[in-house]
């Protein structure tokens, strides 16, 4: 009696069974299996799951289930990145409680994930907005504070006028707010920072250890972001100023070519330098500074923008040749990079040359590169050449000249070798409600006082009665019951810090919290960390290539230095899945090309959607939903399912007596399937499963028939393999084959290599690289025999004709190529 395939029926049958059996519990006490930690980037709970989640979790699940199938105890947890602006914006817009909104969405996503058959360990779950979680954000903040890695400073920070909050450098993309695309402006504020720059060298150098394990693209992006440059700090004496001005340069070998100095117009240094200037200069300066501040970063970053600047009537002395050079201010020098001041070497730096030509300043070439004089060509020469007009450096090549120049300034006590980074410290304060309160109390007498550890967590006050709308200061400041406290040090009146932490703090260490998600004793249990961490396989979108991954790496290194973990890198391997597009562009409601995941699941079933995600192409490529066919996936699954249904032999039948050619197909499949999955070629793995399905169909219908043990063997391996992609169908197949759940815990059969040995192969015979004949030969044929066979072939003789033989290449048993003269 044959049943019809119904994905709905199958889903309904197995979901409750799995809920009961908990096949993915990674905390069984006497589990002897070796461990693997597979982690998907946790979602932000903004509504239900979408197609992007469906792809990411389908792929992460293939990996997780694969390792279980290979006999590992796999920890595959999930949680929610639950703090952040959308909850607050929803609250403002619709008058909801951010907390309630967040937990409702989490409940919905959780139910969807269960239905989607994600192999998550549902006993390891976390939500960053739970006090039990963010308490440890605060604890970590205080640990950082103790070590001088968390500090407060006043500076010009990125300000999003729409979100009404500050942004980290990393959250400003091309001058726009990453979140809302508003144009970002600058604002002077006192804010909290994490000292990432202290770890810059390690964050950069340790990327080498991830080579080949992380996508090259991500490594490049991280390197670009940190962007270390080596050079020297050099002091320039300023006329009429007590202290010299230090400049950073990567080209100290060009010091003799420095013909002027430029100070960032928006730096404190510039403001100080014009204090004693004439009224005229001061007025011009103020105008220039104002117009600079008004220009947003986009205008400022336009590379073809003409240079602007102002001579401020002051002079510096070139420390090597004693030249008196003018000091200018300009916006092409950045206030917060290096010292905010540069020595300008127009002959050998294009930016300086552009400035010099615009301002009619002298250009002095100090490298003989054989190219045209930059002053005439307008093109700065950067490359190789010997130093000229440079006193003691004359005749030296670049590297030697740099070394020598540093030696000289060190000798004269005018500078030293130095490094600089594009990476800035991480600004973590946010003027918003829905985040982790910063555990610091401000006391008039005692200043900054950390909240004592036994008073953690500092819980968020209820949002009821608070005005959450953005107004540039934290809504928490208005919660007077909450904000006014006694100083822990002197018991005098004091106020809590009312800012909350950037949510990237939450995600910088969540992968460790999964080790002991409910602990009230530790942020994470170090013994569990020894067992599981670091993460063996991390899966997520490339959108987090810089921000999240850099911060998580930073946290890991700090935790390492705190002695809490014994590794330096959090994620041993990283897989970036692509995006799901529709008709070539990202799905969005406004574009009208949104494909709803729930519709797809209703129409095709969970398995078909998951399989479609895996089969669409290499995981890192984008999937255009218009190019793939979930209906085809569904058709294939039904086909595979019918194979299991057709099998007509007992569970304990001796497979070794089965049909040889079918067994061979099965074991060839096993060999190629494992290889495909290990190399993340999931699409190829699925294709192999299709191939096996086709072979089994043929065997059942027109070959050895459904009773042959080899058909059972093939069907069993097919069910196990499919469980990575289509857990429901696979479980049903497994059941039809006479087994108890769960197929997920069944291990693939060992490949029986003796079945793979070919007795005969088809040998290719070429003449001058062109196929001329084929012979079926023994797999063990010798080179001589093959050569003999080819040379006596009529077709080969004809192809050679009367040409003379030049060379005969034999690759027994597969190929022979006869080259003629």
**Which are the contacts of 42, defined by CB distance < 8 A and separation ≥ 6?**
78, 79, 80, 81, 507, 510
Please say which residue, 252 or 461, places its beta carbon nearer to RNA.
252
| SS3 label, residue 377 | helix
Output the smallest distance, CB 423 to RNA, in A. Answer: 8
In DSSP terms, which residues pair with 747 in a beta bridge? Answer: none
Please say which residue, 125 or 219, places its beta carbon nearer to RNA.
219
Please say which residue, 141 or 636, places its beta carbon nearer to RNA.
636
Output the smallest distance, CB 25 to RNA, in A. Answer: 34
Output the smallest distance, CB 129 to RNA, in A. Answer: 29
- From 518, 510, 612, select the one nearest 551 (Cα to Cα): 510
Output the smallest distance, CB 695 to RNA, in A. Answer: 9
In DSSP terms, which residues pair with 36 in a beta bridge? Answer: 74
Output the smallest distance, CB 227 to RNA, in A. Answer: 5
C-alpha distances out from residue 299 to 183, 304, 355, Å: 11, 10, 17
- From 510, 459, 397, select the one nearest 135 (Cα to Cα): 459
- Phi first, then psi: give them for residue 260, nearest 5 degrees: -160, 170
CB atoms within 10 A of CB 585: 11
Give me the sign of the Cα torsion angle 59, 63, 69, 74. Answer: negative
Please say which residue, 604 or 688, places its beta carbon nearer to RNA.
688
Please say which residue, 301 or 453, places its beta carbon nearer to RNA.
301
**Which are the contacts of 474, defined by CB distance < 8 A and separation ≥ 6?**
430, 431, 432, 433, 498, 499, 500
Please say which residue, 120 or 260, places its beta carbon nearer to RNA.
260
Q: How far apart are CA 463 and CA 129, in angstroms?
A: 14
**Which are the contacts of 84, defined by CB distance < 8 A and separation ≥ 6?**
44, 434, 435, 503
Do 665 and 694 meet the contact criterion of CB atoms below 8 Å apart? no
- From 472, 498, 460, select the one nearest 163 (Cα to Cα): 472
End-to-end alpha carbon distance in the chain: 69
Please say which residue, 681 or 707, places its beta carbon nearer to RNA.
681
- From 713, 717, 714, 715, select the one nearest 747 (Cα to Cα): 717
- Give CA angle at 207 (202, 213), nearest 5°: 150
Output the smallest distance, CB 590 to RNA, in A. Answer: 18
- From 13, 3, 1, select the one nearest 729 (Cα to Cα): 13
How does DSSP assign 393-419, residue by residue? GTT--HHHHHHHHHHHHHHTTSEEEEE
Please say which residue, 253 or 499, places its beta carbon nearer to RNA.
253
Output the smallest distance, CB 570 to RNA, in A. Answer: 21
Output the smallest distance, CB 390 to RNA, in A. Answer: 16
Output the smallest distance, CB 381 to RNA, in A. Answer: 15
Output the smallest distance, CB 589 to RNA, in A. Answer: 20
Output the smallest distance, CB 232 to RNA, in A. Answer: 8
CA dihedral 156, 161, 162, 163 (to 10 degrees): 30
Please say which residue, 105 or 576, places its beta carbon nearer to RNA.
576
Please say which residue, 351 or 398, places its beta carbon nearer to RNA.
351
């Amino acid at each position: 009696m044959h049943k019809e395939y119904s994905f709905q029926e199958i889903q309904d049958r197995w979901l409750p069974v799995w809920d009961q059996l908990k096949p993915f519990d990674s905390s069984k006490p006497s589990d002897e299996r070796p461990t693997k930690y597979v982690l998907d980037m946790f979602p932000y709970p903004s509504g239900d799951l979408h197609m992007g989640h469906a792809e990411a979790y389908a792929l992460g699940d293939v990996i997780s289930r694969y390792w279980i199938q290979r006999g590992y105890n796999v920890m595959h947890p999930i949680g929610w990145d639950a703090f952040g602006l959308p909850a607050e914006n929803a609250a403002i817009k619709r008058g909801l409680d951010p907390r309630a909104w967040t937990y409702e969405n989490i409940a919905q996503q959780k139910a969807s994930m269960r239905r989607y058959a994600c192999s998550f360990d549902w006993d390891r779950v976390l939500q960053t907005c739970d006090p039990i979680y963010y308490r440890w954000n605060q604890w970590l903040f205080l640990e950082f504070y103790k070590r001088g890695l968390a500090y407060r400073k006043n500076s010009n920070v990125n300000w999003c006028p729409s979100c009404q909050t500050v942004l980290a450098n990393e959250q400003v993309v091309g001058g726009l707010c990453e979140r809302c695309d508003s144009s970002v402006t600058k604002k002077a504020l006192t804010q909290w920072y994490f000292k990432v720059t202290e770890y810059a060298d390690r964050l950069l150098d340790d990327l080498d250890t991830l080579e080949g394990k992380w996508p090259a693209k991500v490594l490049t992006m991280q390197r670009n972001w940190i962007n270390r440059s080596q050079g020297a700090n050099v002091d320039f004496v300023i006329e009429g100023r007590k202290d010299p001005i230090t400049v950073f340069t990567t080209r100290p070998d060009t010091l003799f070519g420095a013909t002027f100095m430029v100070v960032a117009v928006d730096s404190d240094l510039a403001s100080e330098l014009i204090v004693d200037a004439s009224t005229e200069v001061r007025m011009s300066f103020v105008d220039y500074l104002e117009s600079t501040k008004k220009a947003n970063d986009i205008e400022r970053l336009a590379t073809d923008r003409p240079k602007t600047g102002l001579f401020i009537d002051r002079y510096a002395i070139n420390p090597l040749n004693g030249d008196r050079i003018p000091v200018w201010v300009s916006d092409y020098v950045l206030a917060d990079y290096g010292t905010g001041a540069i020595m300008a070497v127009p002959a050998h730096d294009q930016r300086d040359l552009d400035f010099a030509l615009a301002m009619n300043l002298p250009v002095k070439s100090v490298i003989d590169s054989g190219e045209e004089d930059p002053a005439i060509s307008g093109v700065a020469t950067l490359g190789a050449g010997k130093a000229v007009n440079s006193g003691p450096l004359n005749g030296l090549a670049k590297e030697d000249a740099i070394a020598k120049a540093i030696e000289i300034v060190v000798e004269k006590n005018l500078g030293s070798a130095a490094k600089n980074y594009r990476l800035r410290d991480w600004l973590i304060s946010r003027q918003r409600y829905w985040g982790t309160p910063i555990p610091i109390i401000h006391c008039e007498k005692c200043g900054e006082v950390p909240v004592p550890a036994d008073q953690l967590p500092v819980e968020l006050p209820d949002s009821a009665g608070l005005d959450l709308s953005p107004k540039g200061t934290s809504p928490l400041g208005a919660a007077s019951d909450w904000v006014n406290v006694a100083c822990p040090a002197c018991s005098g009146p004091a106020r809590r810090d009312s800012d909350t932490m950037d949510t990237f703090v939450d995600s910088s260490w969540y992968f460790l919290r999964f080790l002991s998600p409910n602990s009230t004793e530790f942020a994470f249990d170090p013994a569990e960390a020894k067992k599981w961490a670091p993460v063996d396989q991390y899966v997520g979108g490339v959108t987090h290539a810089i921000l999240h991954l850099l911060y998580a790496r930073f946290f890991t290194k700090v935790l390492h230095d705190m002695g809490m973990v014994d590794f330096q890198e959090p994620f041993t391997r990283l897989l970036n899945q692509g995006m799901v597009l529709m008709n070539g562009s990202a799905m969005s409601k406004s574009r009208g090309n949104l494909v709803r995941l729930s519709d797809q699941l209703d129409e095709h079933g969970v398995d078909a959607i998951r399989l479609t995600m895996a089969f669409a192409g290499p995981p890192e490529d984008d999937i255009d939903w218009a190019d793939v066919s979930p209906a085809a996936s569904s058709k294939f699954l039904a086909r595979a399912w019918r194979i299991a249904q057709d099998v007509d032999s007992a569970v304990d039948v001796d497979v070794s007596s089965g049909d040889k050619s079918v067994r061979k197909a099965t074991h060839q499949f096993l060999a190629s399937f494992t290889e495909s999955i290990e190399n993340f070629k999931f699409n190829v793995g699925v294709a192999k499963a299709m191939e096996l399905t086709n072979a089994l169909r043929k065997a059942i219908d027109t070959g050895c028939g459904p009773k042959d043990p080899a058909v059972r063997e093939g069907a069993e391996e097919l069910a196990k393999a499919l469980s990575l992609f289509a857990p429901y169908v696979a479980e049903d197949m497994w059941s039809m084959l006479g087994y108890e759940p769960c197929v997920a815990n069944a291990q693939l059969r060992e490949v029986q290599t003796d079945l793979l040995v070919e007795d005969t192969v088809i040998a290719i015979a070429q003449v001058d690289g062109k196929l001329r004949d084929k012979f079926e030969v023994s797999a063990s044929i010798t080179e001589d025999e093959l050569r003999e066979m080819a040379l006596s072939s009529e077709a080969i003789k004809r192809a050679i004709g009367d040409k003379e033989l030049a060379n005969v290449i034999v690759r027994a048993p597969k190929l022979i190529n006869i080259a003629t003269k």
